[in-house]
Amino acid sequence: MLEVQHISKRYHYQKVLDDICMCFPTSGIVAIVGPSGCGKTTLLHILGGIDTDFQGDILWENKSVKHHLTRYRRHHVSFIFQQFHLIMWLSVKQNISLPRFFHKQEKASLSLALETLKNQSLHSLSLGQRQRLAYLRSHYHRSDILLCDEPTGSLDPQYAQAVMELLKEESQHRLVILVSHDEKLVSQYSDEVYKMQDGQIIEHICFHETEKIERFPTVQKKYFLCHMRLAFASLCSHKARSFQLMIGLLLSLLSIVLALTLTRHLEGQFHQYIYSLVPASGISFQSRYQQSLSLDLLDQIKNQPGIMKSEMFLDDYECLGIGFQSERYEQSQTLFIGDDTSPYTYLSLKYGNYPQAHHEILLSLSTARHLCGQQDVASLIGQNVYAWYQHDWEVKGICYKIVGITNQTTALDTLYQMDHAYIYLLKDIYQYELEQVSSHLGIVYVHPDYHRDHVMKQLKKQFPDYEFLAIGESTTQNVSQVLNQANIILLFFSLLAILSSLFLIGEVMFLNVIQKKKDLAIMKCFGASSLDIIKIVLYESFQILILTQSICMILYYQLIHMMNIFLQNMFESELFSIQVDINIIAFVFIVSDLLVLISQLPPLLYILKMNTVQALKE
């Protein structure tokens, strides 16, 4: 049973309701009549729990619900409004079944000749059709109390009579409180009538009592993914704005993940390129006192644990390259060799054998391809090539025999030979004694099973008169430092880009909430709590974000694939390839999700402070 005790309300300094006391039965039709402006609708809003600013108390089943109006409204009250209050971006069927989005309801069928209207848009419906739709929505919600504000105001006499008949039938199972100006219908169908004037009850007439008939229990269900469905419907109601928002966010996210991927890839590729030029196992050394290196010193160093090969570079002797021309050096017919000192014992062979003499060499696979051009690289095995060296403006050639080709591709064209082989071969050509050899720079290659820093530490201890340096380490450190600084700057601007895009989402969703606050208030009248409204707004934002992120992921994979094809065609090598970086994508997407959540604080706070009655009046 519903009871109100000493209800009073003011609008500013004007008293609208003055000490209203009413006691309602559990069923039947109770009409509230009176002239316009006497406070009937205000009283109806208070009875429905949507107007919380009043003095007095509301009792339901002898318990005060003034401090639990949201729970009271959600579980016990349904409405038929004078202005219909339909949600225009929902379908006819969704408007009728609106309560089912927020709590379990039985499935109701369309009646009042609305079966043919279920596929039409609300904008095409007449006022009478909308009024009948509002009734069906309230009928769908099997609440204990049905509040009706002018339920027949927009209907022709035939349908008005039909609605009152339906309300009379409803009143057998629950309490129906209606406000109406149609005194004929009120006197014909009402069980009790309260007359109001100037915010007061001036007369109460009870015609007869209605015994409540309990409904048969029915199967009640709630819509699956109800909040997601409402959020998606809201999203589709402003497609153009959502599409523009998604395009802006997509460009921002895609630019950020591509920029971070390319920057991170650039650092890795640069390090890889440095190691391909100067292996990570290389250590350079020279005398602290500018003394020349010797073959004996090289042998001593090689005998140290972890050393694969030690070699020295002869002063004033420069390798110009190799070619098939034997008579004289021609630059156009010569392939420049960038590395002729690397060890080969750990390399796998594609063709041929390892060198067994000083004049036998191996070629890397990429070098063999450059040397033979369009021919099969296997045809190089057994052929002679000439390595040209320059000394004191004199160029002479060494005849080498190609005995093998490795499986490795190298950034620099590389040939492999036995220890000190070119030194002995140049000795025969230039007629010098080994004791006369002058070299101030040497290189040591560390075995892959040993750590370079540990080996270098032992070499410094064993050969204190020589200075040992890790090849490429300082360059790598400097490049890493520069690239890290560039990454920090790029990350900063990336976050600014994300912030600007997500601020736009927050602004758009805030405007969306303001634009749809009446619709959100209608949802509250039919069972939605503030938490339900917050979920709908959040889900709409995250639907935009997730859809954008999905498109971004697809485009990201496609662009990376296209870049790899372009780079491989340009450089004719797989050395330059960009890898899809899941960590970067996850980082950018998680940050964007968190920022979207933060950007929704203003609209969410607006929802919590929203005045339902004021929103319904707009």
Query: Can you tell me whether residue 212 is helix, strand or coil?
Result: coil
Report the chain's mean pLDDT, rounded to a whole number: 85
One domain for residues 453 and 483: no
> In this model, does residue 455 exceed pLDDT 70?
yes
Structure-token pair, residue 476 = 């790598």
Single out the residue of 373, 411, 359, 91 nearest to residue 232, CA to CA: 91
Q: Are 564 and 577 in contact (CB under 8 A)?
A: yes
More confident residue, 506 or 269: 506
Structure-token pair, residue 436 = 């006369």
State CA 312 to chain mean position distance: 55
| Residue-level pLDDT at 110 | 47
Is residue 550 domain-resident?
Answer: yes
One domain for residues 285 and 411: yes
One domain for residues 334 and 455: yes
CATH code of 186's domain: 3.40.50.300
- Characterize the bridge pairing of strands 394-406 and 360-363: parallel
Is residue 427 domain-resident?
Answer: yes
Query: Which of 452, 473, 494 is a domain's end point?
Result: 473
> In this model, does residue 551 exceed pLDDT 90?
yes
Single out the residue of 304, 347, 345 nearest to residue 450, CA to CA: 304
Is residue 607 domain-resident?
Answer: yes
Is residue 233 domain-resident?
Answer: no
How confident is the model over 87-144, as pLDDT tens digits? 998 888 888 888 888 877 655 554 554 566 767 778 888 877 887 788 888 877 778 9
Query: Which of 473, 501, 519 is a domain's end point?
Result: 473
One domain for residues 584 and 612: yes
| Residue-level pLDDT at 459 | 93
Q: Are 322 and 337 in contact (CB under 8 A)?
A: yes
Q: Given strand 466-470, what is the order of strands in its sheet?
A: 307-313, 441-446, 282-287, 466-470
Single out the residue of 68, 79, 41 nearest to residue 526, CA to CA: 79
Structure-token pair, residue 182 = 């149609």
- Domain holding 255, by residue range, is 239-274+478-617
Cβ–Cβ contacts within 10 Å for residue 605, how many? 11
> CA 73, CA 159: separation in Å to the nearest integer?
28
> CA 434, CA 425: separation in Å to the nearest integer?
11
More confident residue, 419 or 566: 419
As a whole-number percent, the residues of the chain with pLDDT over 90 amount to 33
Query: Can you tell me whether residue 398 is helix, strand or coil?
Result: strand
Task: Convert 516-561 into a string of H (helix), E (strand) and C (coil).
Answer: CHHHHHHHHHCCCCHHHHHHHHHHHHHHHHHHHHHHHHHHHHHHHH
One domain for residues 198 and 250: no
Is residue 232 domain-resident?
Answer: no
State CA 590 to chain mean position distance: 6
Largest Cα–Cα distance of the chain, in whole Å?
135
Torsion of CA 76, 177, 154, 170, to 10 degrees: 70
> In this model, does residue 425 exceed pLDDT 70?
yes
> CA 559, CA 327: separation in Å to the nearest integer?
51
Strands (E), 360-454: 360-363, 384-391, 394-406, 415-416, 441-446
Question: Which residues touch 39 (CB under 8 Å, ≥6 apart)?
Answer: 9, 16, 17, 196, 198, 199
Mean pLDDT of the 425-446 span: 87
Structure-token pair, residue 174 = 């629950």
> CA 101, CA 230: separation in Å to the nearest integer?
8
One domain for residues 346 and 425: yes
One domain for residues 443 and 311: yes
| Residue-level pLDDT at 186 | 85
How confident is the model over 48-64, as pLDDT tens digits? 999 988 999 999 999 99
Q: What's the whole-model pTM score?
A: 0.66
Lowest average pLDDT, out of 54-58, 436-440, 458-462, goes to: 436-440
One domain for residues 559 and 484: yes
Is residue 604 domain-resident?
Answer: yes
Mean pLDDT of the 240-258 span: 85
Compute CA distances 268 → 220, 316, 477, whole Å: 60, 35, 12
One domain for residues 367 and 458: yes
Single out the residue of 34, 30, 41 nearest to residue 3, CA to CA: 30
Instruction: Give residue 252's identity as a one-letter amino acid code.
Output: S
Is residue 229 domain-resident?
Answer: no
> CA 351, CA 365: separation in Å to the nearest integer?
10
Compute CA distances 445 → 217, 312, 450, 465, 557, whole Å: 87, 12, 11, 19, 40
- Domain tally, the chain: 3
Structure-token pair, residue 343 = 């060890």
Q: What is the CA radius of gyration of the chain?
A: 44
How confident is the model over 573-590, as pLDDT tens digits? 555 677 888 888 998 888
Per-residue pLDDT band at 304 (split at 50, 70, 90): very high
Is residue 230 domain-resident?
Answer: no
Angle at 189 between CA 16 and CA 160, to 5 degrees: 85
One domain for residues 160 and 243: no
Compute CA distances 457 → 164, 280, 460, 470, whole Å: 100, 16, 5, 11
Which burial class, exposed, middle or buried, applies to 440 when counting CB atoms under 10 A from its CB (0-12, 13-18, 19+)?
middle
State CA 501 to chain mean position distance: 13
Place of tokens 């060198």: 355
Query: Can you tell me whether residue 78 is helix, strand or coil?
Result: strand
One domain for residues 270 and 285: no
State CA 167 to chain mean position distance: 50
More confident residue, 202 or 13: 202
One domain for residues 422 and 532: no
First to last CA, the chain: 32
Structure-token pair, residue 382 = 């057994």
Per-residue pLDDT band at 572 (split at 50, 70, 90): low
Query: Which of 443, 473, 503 is a domain's end point?
Result: 473
Q: Are 616 and 81 in contact (CB under 8 A)?
A: yes
